[in-house]
Structure 1
Amino acid sequence: MITHKQFDNDFKYIEIQNKQAEAKIALQGAHLFHYKVKDKASLLWLSDSAYFEEGKAIRGGIPICFPWFGKNKEDPSLPQHGFARTQLWTVVLEEEIDEGTTYIQLQLKPNTHTLTQWAYLFDVTLDIIIGHELSIALSVTNTDTKPFEISTALHTYFSVSDIDNISIKGLENRAYYDALEEKTSIQDGDILIQEEVDRVYVNPTETITLLDRDEKISLQQEGSNSLVVWNPWIEKSKQMADMTEDGYRTMVCLETSNAREDARVLQAKESHVLRAEFKYG
Structure 2
Amino acid sequence: MNLAQQLQHLYSEFGHIEGIHIELHKELIAVAVNNSAAKALIFLQGGQVAEYQAHGHSKTLWLSSSNRYQQGQPLRGGIPISWPWFGQLAQNPKAITAQFDAAAQPPAHGFARNNLWQLDSITPVSSSQTQLKLSYELAAEQQALWPYASRLELTITVGEQLELNLVVTNTGSKPFSYSSALHSYYAVGDISRCQVSGLEEQRYIDKLDNEQVKTQQGLLSISSETDRIYQHSRLQQKELPTIRLIDKEQQQQTLIHSSGSHSTVVWNPWRNKAQHLNNFADDDYQQMLCIETANVGEDIVTLAPRQSRQLQLAIKPQPLSAT
On whether the aligned pair clears a TM of 0.5, the verdict is yes
| Equivalent residue number for residue 197 of structure 1 | 226
Q: Which residue of 1 aligns with 2:285?
A: 248
Q: Give 1:18 shift.
A: 0.4
Task: Measure the CA separation in 2 of the matches of 1:147 and 1:36.
Answer: 39
Instruction: Give the 3-state SS of the residue equivalent to 1:249 in structure 2.
Output: helix
Aligned 1:75-90 pairs, distance under 5 A: 75=102, 77-90=105-118
CA distance in 2, matches of 1:2, 1:142: 32
Aligned residues: 280
* Distance in 2 (alpha carbons) for counterparts of 1:111 and 1:45: 34
Question: In 1, distance between residues paired with 2:293 and 2:141?
Answer: 26
- Looking at structure 1, the residues matched to 295 and 145 of structure 2 have their Cα atoms a distance apart, in angstroms, of 20
Question: Is this contact kept in 2: 1:206–1:222, CA < 8 A?
Answer: no
Deviation (angstroms), 1:80: 0.4
2:301 is matched with which residue: 242, 264, 268?
264
Partner of 2:20: 2
Q: Which residue of the partner structure matches residue 37 of structure 1?
A: 54
Report Cα offsets for 1:88-118 as digits up to 9, x if no partner. Answer: 0000111011111000010001169852011
**Pairwise mapping of residues 114-125 of structure 1 onto structure 2 (< 5 A)?**
115-125=143-153
**1:18-50: CA deviations, max 9, x gaps?**
011001001000010011111111100011112
Is there any run of 5+ residues in structure 2 with no aligned partner, and where?
1-18, 91-96, 234-239, 319-323
Letter aligned with residue 119 of structure 1:
P
Q: Calculate the TM-score normalised by the size of structure 2.
A: 0.84
Q: In the TM superposition, what are the counterparts of 1:211-222 in structure 2 within 5 Å?
A: 211-213=246-248, 214-222=251-259
Structure 1 residue 135 displacement after superposition: 0.3
Contact 1:51 1:59 in 2 (8 A): no
| Cα displacement (A) at 1:5 | 1.5
**What one-letter code is carried by the residue in structure 1 that aligns with 2:226?**
V
Counterpart CA distance in 2 for 1:175 and 1:114 is: 39
TM-score by length of 1: 0.97
Report the equivalent of 1:127: 155
Q: Which amino acid aligns with 1:171?
A: L
- Alignment partner of 1:144 is 2:172: yes
Q: CA deviation at 1:2?
A: 1.4
Q: Which residue of structure 1 aligns with residue 131 of structure 2?
A: 103
CA distance in 1, matches of 2:68, 2:268: 19
Query: Based on CA coordinates, which of the two structures has the bigger radius of gyration?
Result: 2
Specify the code of the residue in structure 2 equivalent to 1:208. I
Uncovered stretches (5+) of structure 1, i.e. residues with no partner:
none
Decide whether the 8 Å contact of 1:51 with 1:57 is kept in 2. Answer: no
- RMSD, matched Cα: 1.4
For residues 268 and 47 of structure 1, the distance between their equivalents in structure 2, rounded to whole angstroms, comes to 39
Q: Which amino acid aligns with 2:50?
A: F
SS in 1 for 2:147: coil
**In 2: Cα distance, 1:202 partner to 1:265 partner:** 17
C-alpha contact 2:274 2:285 (8 A) present in aligned 1: yes
Secondary structure class of the residue paired with 1:109: strand
1:206 shift after superposition: 2.3
CA contact (8 A) 2:81 2:113 kept: yes
2:48 alignment partner AA: H
Which shifted more, 211-220 or 201-210?
Answer: 201-210
Paired residue type of 1:233: W
Give the aligned residue type for 1:90. Answer: Q
One-letter code of the match for 1:106?
L
Of 253, 256, 261, 1:224 maps to 261
